[in-house]
Amino acid sequence: MRCSAIVSFLYLAGLAAAIPANPHPDNPTGLAKSHPAKRHQTRSHPTRSHPKKSHPNVKRKKLQRKTTGEGGQGLRAVGYYGNWDIYDRKFFITDIEDEQLTHLIYSFANVNPETGEVYLSDEHADLNYYYPGDKPSNSSEPQLYGNLKQLYLLKKKNRHLKTLLAILGYTYSPNMVPVLASAELRANFVSSAVKLVTDLGLDGLDIDYEYVTSTTEAVNMVTLLKDLRAALDKIPTNSTTSPFLLTAASPAGPAKYKLLDLPGMDKYLSFWNFMGYDYSGSWDKITAHSSNVFPDPNSNITTPFSSNNALKWYVESGVAPQRINLGMPLYGRGFANTKGIGQPFNNSGATTGSYDEANVWDYKDLTINGVETNVPEIGASYSYDATKKYLISFDNKQNAEFKATYVVKYRLGGAMWWEVSQDKQNDDSLIRAVVKSFGGRPSLENSLNHLDYPHSKYENLRKGFPGIGLATS
């Protein structure tokens, strides 16, 4: 039988022990996205660590299809956007194909490690940048401009698009360590984060802590989510809109997810954004697939991690599949001086790439020279240029469609992408390919967003920007 058929059978049968565990648990994995120290986004691979025992509160059960959670309301299409995208990439909120998305997550807010206060990381981009048509106000009250004004206008244009503020990311996560450990700082975190939601006209929060490192932190994370959920539920809403959202970016590496109290967190989350990428990269010694769905039964080297194995753990731990979005990369990872997949490489001296990191390519910048290969048995794709001895692991259109089929077949909640500025446009878009495979816009979740923010500090947002449409970039 083909690998996908074997794994599919085991998945449905709930035979967890029959699928091999990851053979290299000490390799890095999970999302390595980070807010930049300066203006653009960068990635760093997660800290290498050995797996630890799973959280004691996790009660594992057999894998089965479920109908709890948010199933039946349509599939989610969740895109992250970085506030640095207006700089080097010159990709603006107004460039986003919002009709292809149900949720847009704005990244990243930071946290003060001494006070626990959550604050915006780039006020110029977030609050003050003038889009075409923006002009100073004569009012003495604060006015909202920048990306966040455009996010609100995007919501007015598309009432089915919900916006969330992502907090932390890989670079800012160390600031969270003392905050998690202190009840006082956690309380400040909650109050300041929720105030940003009501001040900025958002629909919720996304917690991107990379990563929980102990059972004590896991317990404190559940407490934090509980308090955030309670505070968000106190924000007044009308009967036609959904509750304010609370989500989390979650890891794909067993050394990370086995520490989490998954059922404890799940009680308070609206859904999970599973980071199904960065399974390999420049930190490795051998080329491997960076976002494969299944493990390769013939080569442990090329698939040290897999989305399917990680998702089995989540579901067996009590998280309904419909509450998990499968994360997909809109970038590729390059390997220089190599003879192919599963072979040694040497990236030293190789400085090519799009913007953020050597040998990391935005999907829209990928120029494929050589042979492009699909590996449908494991849900992976890559290109190899034998002349230049250069390999790139990335999702092409066929593999993105394969992942969409996987989402539908196993009744996951939808798809998530890091990050939207890296995609191609129109018919070449991977986001569009996945949504089309889902069944198009009618297949997507369609709850209404929030537009009423009577307690915002910004006068123009309180009034709902009357008569103002989305800027043209």
pLDDT of residue 403: 99
Q: How confident is the model at residue 23 (pLDDT cuts 50, 70, 90)?
A: very low
pLDDT of residue 266: 99
Predicted confidence (pLDDT) at residue 212 exceeds the cutoff of 50: yes
Predicted confidence (pLDDT) at residue 461 exceeds the cutoff of 80: yes
Predicted confidence (pLDDT) at residue 71 exceeds the cutoff of 80: no
Residue 248 bridge partners (DSSP): 207, 272
Q: How confident is the model at residue 191 (pLDDT cuts 50, 70, 90)?
A: very high
Residue 393 bridge partners (DSSP): 333, 382
Q: Which of 70, 210, 357, 377 is catalytic?
A: 210
Over the stretch 253-286, which tens digit does the pLDDT of each residue have? 999 999 999 999 999 999 999 999 999 999 999 9
Over the stretch 390-423, which tens digit does the pLDDT of each residue have? 999 999 999 999 999 999 999 999 999 999 999 9
Backbone angles phi, psi at 307, to 5 degrees: -65, -40
End-to-end CA distance of the chain: 52
Percent of the chain with pLDDT over 90: 78
Backbone angles phi, psi at 294, to 5 degrees: -110, 155
pLDDT of residue 6: 32
pLDDT of residue 238: 74
Predicted confidence (pLDDT) at residue 12 exceeds the cutoff of 50: no
| Alpha-carbon gap, residue 232 to 234, rounded angstroms | 5
Predicted confidence (pLDDT) at residue 169 exceeds the cutoff of 60: yes
In this structure, of 23-37, 59-73, 212-226, the range with the lowest mean pLDDT score is 23-37
The contacts found for 117-122 with CB under 8 angstroms, 24 or more apart, are 117/188, 117/189, 117/192, 118/167, 118/189, 118/192, 118/193, 118/196, 119/192, 120/196, 121/35, 121/83, 121/172, 122/39, 122/83, 122/84
Predicted confidence (pLDDT) at residue 197 exceeds the cutoff of 90: yes
Average pLDDT over residues 193-203: 99
pLDDT of residue 1: 34
What is the rounded average pLDDT for all residues in the chain?
87
Average pLDDT over residues 444-454: 97
Average pLDDT over residues 50-73: 37
Q: How confident is the model at residue 239 (pLDDT cuts 50, 70, 90)?
A: low
Which domains does the chain possess?
A: 33-42+69-330+397-462 (3.20.20.80)
Predicted confidence (pLDDT) at residue 455 exceeds the cutoff of 70: yes
Q: Tokens in use for 222?
A: 């559940």
Predicted confidence (pLDDT) at residue 36 exceeds the cutoff of 60: no
| Spatial contact of 87 and 35, defined as CB atoms under 8 Å apart | no
pLDDT of residue 356: 73
210 is catalytic: yes
Provide the whole-model pTM: 0.87
pLDDT of residue 472: 63
